[in-house]
Amino acid sequence: IMYKPTFQRADVRIAHQETVYQGFYQVQKLKLQHRLFNGGWSKELQRELVVRLPAVAVLMYDASTDEVVLIEQFRVGGMGHEEGPWQLEMVAGMIDTAETSAQVAVRECKEESGAIIAESDLELVCTYLVTPGGSNESLDIYCAPVNASTLSGVHGLPTEGEDIKVQVIRRQTLWQMLEQGKLTNAATIIATQWLQLHSPRLKVKWGC
């Protein structure tokens, strides 16, 4: 039997909601109550919510060489981490236009790595809430076939301050990095685990 949440959105009462910060992100302050597992309602709680647009990420995989195409770029949130602020991660971007999730995935692949991806080749890995304890951000992760030998160099939009380097890594090397704790962002960890499970199927599907 599949898990089903005990409560739904209707089981939350919002007494007050206001925007207290508007910048690259928006921060809202809420006063709310929610139903309790043992019955009744919680006391009134105050919560801050970081409001972000939904985003997409793409794991680019060359099934013929068993290589993964990732990118490396500076991330301000990683400055205090022992591995430093340059993150190894997937091509990704926010859905900040009228485009679909898949259309943004295709566009970001070209902008950040030079890869030309067909929408029909995208395979959805998962959709998940990134940090539901304090943000509404959701992420769609896709996997797409590429020819890794054609992808290299530095990419990104200078107008957006992007400085993005393509990194081609063998799948088994990436798995070893995960096991050694060298991958430091959740999306890449999730996608690497998924690829470890699905690579035999993808090698057949994408003509290895």
- How far, in Å, CA of 176 to CA of 155, rounded? 27
Under 8 Å between Cβ of 38 and 24: no
Q: What's phi and psi for 40, nearest 5 deg?
A: 80, -165
Round to whole Å and give the CA distance between 176 and 192. 10
H-state helical runs in 94-149: 101-113
User: Can 160 be counted among the known catalytic residues?
Assistant: yes
DSSP for residue 120 = G
In the numeric block, which tokens belong to residue 70? 């990732």
Choose the catalytic residue: 72, 160, 162, 179: 160
**Contacts for 125 with CB less than 8 Å, ≥ 6 apart:** 59, 141, 142, 143, 190, 191, 194
Bridge partners of 68, per DSSP, are 61, 169
Residues labelled as active-site residues: 160
